């Protein structure tokens, strides 16, 4: 079918098949950048984009893109749910308890239930550390290193 005769693209909201177009520079059409979490007490320099799972889809998981600026980090937290992270931009670090790993494009990081973990972008990094995260749609409350509870967003 010629391009001019194509039907209108479906909206991003709703439980139907869709394509969310990557626009370059790690942005996606119609997907706003949001804060990582509501408060900034336990993290710095981090944003997220909700790619799938919060627009009416019926899936059991969410797909999000997180980005951490050089010198930034996520909350050091632990929770019952597991998640998988795949770096797609820059380089970063992940900490599991006392172990720290450098991670790069295409690595696959599995965060097991109840493992304390944190993601970081080194202060001397030439660009942000960006990664895709697949997580359960229904998640438990996370506890950070200070014992404060947060919804793992």
pLDDT digits (tens, 9 = 90+) for 128-151: 999 999 998 877 777 765 455 444
Of the residues 121, 133, 149, 152, which is catalytic?
Answer: 133
Active site residue 121: no
26 vs 43: CA distance, rounded Å? 21
Q: Tell me which of 3.40.50.300, 2.30.40.10, 2.60.120.10, 3.40.50.12780 is the CATH number of domain 36-151.
A: 2.60.120.10
Give the residue from 20, 23, 1 showing the smallest Cα distance to 9. Answer: 20
Give the residue from 151, 81, 138 showing the smallest Cα distance to 114. Answer: 81
21 vs 97: CA distance, rounded Å? 37
Task: Give the mean model confidence (pLDDT) for residues 27-44.
Answer: 89
3-state percent helix, strand, coil for the chain, nearest multiple of 5: 0, 45, 55
Please tell me the predicted confidence (pLDDT) of residue 144: 66
Please tell me the predicted confidence (pLDDT) of residue 5: 60
């Amino acid at each position: 079918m010629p391009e001019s005769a194509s039907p209108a693209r479906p909206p991003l909201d709703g439980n139907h098949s869709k394509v969310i177009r990557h626009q370059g520079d790690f942005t996606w059409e119609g997907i706003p950048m949001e804060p990582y979490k509501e408060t900034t007490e336990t993290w710095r320099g981090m944003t997220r984009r909700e790619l799938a799972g919060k627009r009416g889809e019926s899936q059991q998981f969410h797909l999000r893109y997180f980005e951490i600026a050089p010198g930034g980090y996520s909350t050091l937290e632990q929770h019952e749910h597991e998640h998988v992270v795949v770096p797609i931009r820059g380089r970063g670090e992940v900490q599991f308890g006392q172990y720290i790993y450098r991670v790069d494009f295409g690595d696959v990081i599995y965060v097991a239930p109840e493992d304390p973990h944190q993601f970081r972008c080194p202060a001397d990094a030439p660009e942000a550390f960006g990664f895709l995260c697949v997580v359960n749609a229904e998640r438990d409350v996370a506890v950070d290193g200070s014992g404060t509870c947060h919804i793992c967003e």
